[in-house]
């Protein structure tokens, strides 16, 4: 039988693959699909290591990304922020819950953006918050995921908005 910690690392590794791919894509829909799959894998990862606020927020994120693929209606933004607040209150475990809550609110705001540039910038803030969360939680694979995700985001942002080819467009 596979140990729960080892299994959690396998799920986190799968999330890492989706995260690496996500910011190399150019279409919002494809980026959000990768986020959805990553959030599902991370939800399982967090559940297996006993971080229930992060695990539940991960499941909310899956639903959020599915909805945001098809609509950008402002009401869904408020619905997901309210749902995150309920999850935060119900599963509160201290500072880690606060960080996870603020991070998911930032990610929700980022995913809701119509402008790809703003989406990437706001999500970068969320990534830094999740990085802090994972450091404090001792989720080493989570730390690696957020570092790679942040670097991938920076590379994707550079390619799309700062490189010579992007500037010429």
Better-predicted residue by pLDDT, 84 or 4: 84
| pTM listed for this prediction | 0.84
Mean pLDDT of 106-131: 90
Separation of alpha carbons 4 and 153, rounded Å: 30
How many of the other CB atoms lie within 10 Å of CB of 13?
14
Residue identified by tokens 């201290």 is 94
The predicted pLDDT at position 147 comes to: 93
Give the pLDDT confidence score for residue 169 in this predicted structure: 57
pLDDT beyond 70 at 46: yes
When comparing pLDDT for 153 and 10, which is higher?
A: 10
Is a pLDDT exceeding 80 seen at residue 80?
yes
């Amino acid at each position: 039988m596979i140990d729960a910690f080892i299994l959690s690392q396998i799920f986190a590794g799968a999330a890492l693959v989706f995260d690496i791919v996500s910011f190399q894509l150019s279409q919002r829909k494809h980026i959000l699909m990768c986020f959805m799959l990553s959030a599902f894998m991370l939800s399982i990862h967090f559940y297996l290591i006993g971080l229930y606020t992060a695990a539940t927020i991960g499941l909310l994120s899956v639903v959020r990304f599915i909805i945001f693929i098809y609509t950008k209606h402002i009401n869904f933004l408020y619905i997901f922020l309210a749902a995150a607040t309920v999850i935060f209150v119900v599963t509160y475990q201290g500072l880690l819950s606060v960080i996870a809550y603020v991070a998911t609110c930032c990610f929700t705001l980022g995913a809701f953006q119509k402008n790809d540039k703003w989406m990437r910038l706001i999500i970068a803030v969320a990534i830094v918050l999740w990085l802090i969360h994972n450091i404090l939680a001792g989720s080493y694979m989570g730390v690696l995921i957020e570092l790679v995700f942040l670097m991938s985001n920076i590379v994707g942002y550079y390619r799309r908005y700062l490189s010579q080819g992007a500037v010429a467009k």
